[in-house]
Amino acid sequence: MALTGSAKSGEYKDLPEAYELEERSRPDEMAMLSFAQHLATQSLNDVSSAAVLDLCCGTGLSFEEVLDHPSVGVLVGIDISPQYLAFARNKFETKSVQPMLILGDAVTTPLPPFTWDVVMMASAYHHIEDSRKLAFLRRVRALLGTHGIGIIAENILPEYSPGDRDGYARSIKTFYDAVLETARSSNPYLPRHVEMLIQRVAQYGYDGEYEYKVSYSIFLDDLSRAGLRIVQEVRVWPLSGPVGADGGNYVFVVVPDQAEDDRVHLIKKDLSP
Ligand X SMILES: C[S@@+](CC[C@H](N)C(=O)[O-])C[C@H]1O[C@@H](n2cnc3c(N)ncnc32)[C@H](O)[C@@H]1O
Query: Footprint of ligand X on this chain (CB under 6 A)?
Result: 23, 33, 56-58, 61-62, 78-81, 84, 105-107, 122-124, 127-128
CB of 184 to ligand X, least distance (A): 21
In eight-state DSSP terms, residue 157 is B
If 0-12 CB within 10 Å is exposed, 13-18 middle and 19+ buried, where does residue 174 land? middle
Which residue number, 38 or 263, has a Cβ lying nearer to ligand X?
A: 38
CB of 79 to ligand X, least distance (A): 4
CB of 85 to ligand X, least distance (A): 9
Which residue number, 61 or 198, has a Cβ lying nearer to ligand X?
A: 61
CA distance 271 to 240: 9
Which residue number, 67 or 259, has a Cβ lying nearer to ligand X?
A: 67
Angle between helices 16-24 and 192-207 (to 10 degrees): 100
Residue 60 one-letter amino acid: G
CB of 105 to ligand X, least distance (A): 4
In eight-state DSSP terms, residue 241 is S
Name every residue whose Cβ is closer than 8 Å to that of residue 207 and which is 6 or more positions away in sequence: none
CB of 75 to ligand X, least distance (A): 13
Which residue number, 80 or 169, has a Cβ lying nearer to ligand X?
A: 80
Which residue number, 23 or 222, has a Cβ lying nearer to ligand X?
A: 23
Give whole-number Cα distances, 12 to 9, 19, 20, 26, 219, in Å: 9, 5, 9, 14, 25
Which residue number, 33 or 101, has a Cβ lying nearer to ligand X?
A: 33
CA distance 183 to 24: 10
CB of 80 to ligand X, least distance (A): 4
CA distance 138 to 118: 16
CB of 213 to ligand X, least distance (A): 11
CA distance 38 to 273: 20
CA distance 64 to 23: 14
Task: Tell me which residue has its CB nearest to ligand X.
Answer: 58
Which residue number, 139 or 259, has a Cβ lying nearer to ligand X?
A: 139
